[in-house]
Amino acid sequence: MRTNGGGWRSLKKLAALVLAPLPVPGRASSGSSEGLWLRWRWGWVRGWAARPGWRARELLGGSRIRVGRRFALFGRLQARGPGAVVIGDDVIVDALTTPFTHAREARIEIGSGSYVNGTRFGCASLIRIGERAILGDARLIDTDFHPVHRAERHDPRVAPATAPILVEENVWVGAGAAVLKGVHIGKDAVVGFGSVVVQDVEAGSIVAGNPARPVARVPGT
């Protein structure tokens, strides 16, 4: 079936006219395309529409979700667990993003201006993401979930090891990567596709591999 290009363009113009009064991201530039603004504004509407559901789940003992100004939901934000999820200003959440908390005191923080694209979080204490981060379809897990010791692995009385994850400003974590408990990733660093990060990453460093090791410096750092 042939698509009616004229009808689609008319519909797009109508949507742009309806959504025009809505805000744009704080980091907006005058050179951004009309299509990007249309998608962002629709994401802003979806972000507002999701809030009542989040509040209802919180009242029933679910996750406590707080979002900042100009939050845009392009995909799905599926939170589970009793902890808190705190999202800054001008954050975009895309694809299926799952901030799961495993304790009442667990806290996931996502800094302002970040783009979160299908990232999976498993948080028992603290996962803190700095401003302007780019997170792909990666895993950030601050707990082992089970004791490592062979005799304690199935013993529910033994607490697994847990340590906060700290990701500084303007860090890019590529798809398929895993960032494990206790890791601190410095400003401007890049974590390559499929990397497994078990040690701290220096600011401005590019790491790759399993376990992740430095392979280059970020240009301009």
Q: HSE-up of 72 (CA within 13 Å, CB side)?
A: 24
Q: Which of 4, 61, 72, 67 lies closest to 38, judged by CA?
A: 72
**Separation of alpha carbons 145 and 139, rounded Å:** 14
Question: For residue range 52-88, what is the model confidence (pLDDT) as tens digits?
Answer: 999 999 999 999 999 999 999 999 999 999 999 999 9
Q: What is the pLDDT of residue 115?
A: 98
User: Which class is domain 32-217?
Assistant: mainly beta
Q: Which of 169, 166, 179, 100 lies closest to 138, judged by CA?
A: 179
Report the helix count and the strand count for the chain, using DSSP H and E: 2, 20
Q: Where are the domains of the chain?
A: 32-217
Q: What is the pTM of this model?
A: 0.89
Active site residues: 146
Residue 14 has a CB neighbour count (10 Å cut-off) of 10
